[in-house]
Chains A and B, each alone.
Chain A
Amino acid sequence: MNIALLGNKRAGKTSILKVVFQKISPNETLFTESTSRIEEINVYNNPYTKFTIIDFPGTFQISQMNANERKYLQNCSLVIYVLDAQDKPYERSLDAFVSILREVHGMNSQCFFEMFIHKIDGDMFMNDDVKLEVLNEVSDSVRLKISDREIPEPSYSLTSIYDLSIYEALSKVVQKITPQVGYLQNMLDVLMNHCRIDKVYVFDVITKLYIATDSTPVDLISYELCSDMIDVVIDVSCIYGLVESENINSVFDKKSTAIIKLDSGLTLYLREIEHMLALVCLVKADNFDRQHLIDYNIECFREGARKIFEAREKWIKDEEESKSFN
C-alpha cells in the first residue's frame, strides 16, 4: 500500500516523516533540507504495520507531471495534501489541491484524498475556535471549487508535529487503507464488552500510531496517555530489560506487560500481541480485578488478528501468482 505526500515547498512534508518515522525531535526539523526528488519511505515494523510513503518534492506540479510521477500516483491508495496553515492566503494552494484531486481521481478512481491543515500550532492558533475557523474556511472553499465535478469529497485533519495531532491523523490514514481494520474493530468491540474495558488501542510500538481501536470515539487525552505509556515501557525496559549484546528491538518481547494505576480509578494495561505491536487498554480499577480473564480474551484477540492477516497475505500471494501465471 502506497501513500503519496504532496504539498508546497516548506509545507512540512519531510518534517512529518522525520518526526513520526525517524523519531527526530520536532525542533530539529527547523534545519531540514528541501526535498529535490521523490523519496520513498518503507515502513515495515510488523505484518500489521506495513506501507510505503512517497514524499514528493515541493516543486512538483501536477500539470507538468512526468511518467515516473504519474506511475506513483496511479499506484497509490491515498494522497495526503499538506497545507501550511501559517502561510496565508491559501487560495493558490487550494487550487493546486483541486487540480491534484481531479487529475489523480481521473487515473486512479480508487484513491482516497486527505488534507492535513498543518502547522496548526504557535501563538496564531492558541485557541480551538481559530483552528475550527480555518478548517471551515478551507473545506468550504474546496467544496465550492469541486461542486460541479464528479470528484470525491476529501477528509481534513488539523495537524502539527509539536503535539499528538499528527500521529492521530496518520493513524486514521493508515486505517483507511488497511482492509482488515473493520474486522479488528469488531473483535476489539467484543473484547471491550466481555472485559468491561473503557477504551482499547492496538499500537505500533515503534511509530506510536494506532492501527486499530474499538468503535467508541477516540479522545486525544486517552490516546496521549497510552502513547506516553509506551514511551515509559520502552525506556524502562531499555534500562533493565536488555541482556548484554541484544539489540534494542528485543526489549519489547513476548512477555512485555505493564500496568499503570491512576488515582482517578483508571488502570492502563499493556500487553505485547505481536512483534512490536501492543494492545493498550484503559480499564476501571474495579473491573481489573480479574486480570487473568482479560489476559485470556486478549489471547483470543491475538489469535484472531493473526488469522485475519495470514488470510490477507495468502490472498495477496495467490493474486500475484495468478498474475505471473497469465
Chain B
Amino acid sequence: MEENDPNKKVLLMGKSGAGKTSMRSIIFANFMPKDTMRLGFTNSINQSNIRFLGTLSLALWDCGGQDHFMQHYFESQRDTLFRNVQVLIYVFDVHSEDQRDMNYYRSCVDAIQDHSPTAHIFVLIHKMDLIPVEKRDEAFNKKEREVVKNSAGLNVICFKTSIWDETLYLAWSRIVHYLIPNSDVLTQSLNRFCSACEADEVVLFEKSTFLVISNFSSKQHKDVHRFEKISNIVKQFKLSCSKAAARFKSMTVMNTNFCAFVDEFTSSTYIMLISSDSTILPALTQMNIDLAKKHFEGVVRASTAVAQ
C-alpha cells in the first residue's frame, strides 16, 4: 500500500481502559463525552471503515487492549496486523505506571519497523483532565521522554489529550492531516479566498467529524488552540440539535469586535470565516461564501486525489 492509496489503514492501540474506543466514538460516531462511561472493553479488533472528505477512506482498527489480545497481536497476528499501516496511534493512560504498557508500545514500534517502515507514529498521553492543570506539562514531558526512549529512534509525535476538552480535536486534526495527499492545494486556495473577502482568517472543517482540515490566517491571534476549541463547540452543538431532531446548518455570531460565519461549504466540509472589519457587511461576506462553494468543491477533490 502506498501513501497515495485512498484506503488508509490506521491502527489504534494501547492498554485496556486507556480510552481508545471512547475517543474514536466521539470523533467518528457522534458520542457525547459522558456517553463513553457506558462503553465496555473492546473484544479483539473492531474494524470500521470511515469515509472522510468525500473520497478518502480510513480503515480504523480499534485493537482491544486486554493482555491476552495483546499477546495475540505480537505473536500469531503480527504479520497481518502491522502490514500496510499508514498511521499507528498508541494511547497511554497518563496515570498508568504499568511497565507492561511501555513494553507493549515497544513491541508495536518493532513490528511497525519490520512491516510498515513508512508509517507515521502518534502517541496520545490521555486522560490529562485527571491531572491538576499546573502539573499537566510536567506529567506530559516525563511520559514523552519515556516514549521517545522506547521508540527505537523512529520519529514519533506525542499529544496530551482528554475527551473533556479540545485537546482531542487538536490531536486528531493533526493525525488526519497526514492522510490528505495534497493538502497544500487547499491552503493556497484558502489564502486567496481569505484575501478576497478581506477576512482575518478562514478555516475548513471536515463535515461529519468537524476536524480541522486546513486554515489560513491573515492576522495573528494569541490563542493557538482556537480552531480545536471551535471544533469542540460546534460538534457539541450539533449533538444538541440532533436531540431536537434537527440538523445544524449554519451560524453567525458577532459582537462589537468581530463577526464569525460557520456555514456548510462543499459536500464534505464546513467553512468558518472570521472578520473584524465592521465596515464589511455580513450579507456581502455571506454572498462571497456562497459564490465560492462551487469552486471549492473542485479544490477539495483535488486535495484528496491520488497522484498518478
What residue in chain B is nearest A282 (Cβ atoms)?
B244
Which of B244, B245, B253 has a CB less than 8 Å from the CB of A236? B253
Contacts of A243 in B (CB 8 A): 257
A203 to chain B, nearest CB (A): 15
Q: Number of A residues contacting the other chain (C-beta, 8 Å)?
A: 32
Residue in B240, B250, B257, B274 whose beta carbon sits within 8 Å of that of A228 in the complex: B240
Residue of B nearest to A262 (CB): B246
* Cβ A235 vs Cβ B233 within 8 A: yes
Closest to B237 in A: A232
Kindly supply a per-residue 1/0 record for chain A positions 164-197, scoring 1 wherever the CB is within 8 Å of any chain B CB and 0 otherwise. 0000000000000000000000000000000000
Q: Indicate whether A261 reaches chain B with its CB closer than 8 angstroms.
A: yes
Instruction: Indicate whether B155 reaches chain A with its CB closer than 8 angstroms.
Output: no
- Binary flags per residue of A203-228, CB closer than 8 Å to B gives 1, else 0: 00000000000000000011011001
- Pick the contact of B248: A224, A252, A258, A262 (CB < 8 A): A262
Complex formed: what's the CA distance from A65 to B23 in Å? Answer: 53
Q: Which residues of B contact A224 (CB under 8 A)?
A: 240, 243-244
B interface SS class: mixed
The minimal Cβ–Cβ distance linking A231 to chain B, given in whole angstroms, is: 8
Within 8 Å of chain B (Cβ to Cβ): is A256? yes
Task: Note all chain B residues with C-beta closer than 8 A to A233.
Answer: 253
- A258, B251: Cα distance in complex, Å: 7
B249: A residues at CB distance < 8 A: 261-263
Q: Tell me if B134 is interfacial: C-beta within 8 Å of chain A.
A: no
A80-118: which have CB < 8 Å to B? none
Q: List 16 additional A-B contacts (Cβ < 8 Å) besides A237-B253, A241-B257, A252-B255.
A: A225-B240, A228-B237, A235-B229, A236-B233, A237-B255, A239-B223, A239-B226, A241-B254, A251-B255, A253-B255, A257-B252, A258-B254, A260-B248, A261-B251, A262-B244, A262-B249
A-side residues, CB < 8 A to B, are: 221-222, 224-225, 228-229, 231-233, 235-237, 239-243, 251-264, 266
- Contact surface of B with A, Cβ cutoff 8 Å: 223, 226, 229-230, 233-234, 236-237, 240-241, 243-258, 260, 274, 276
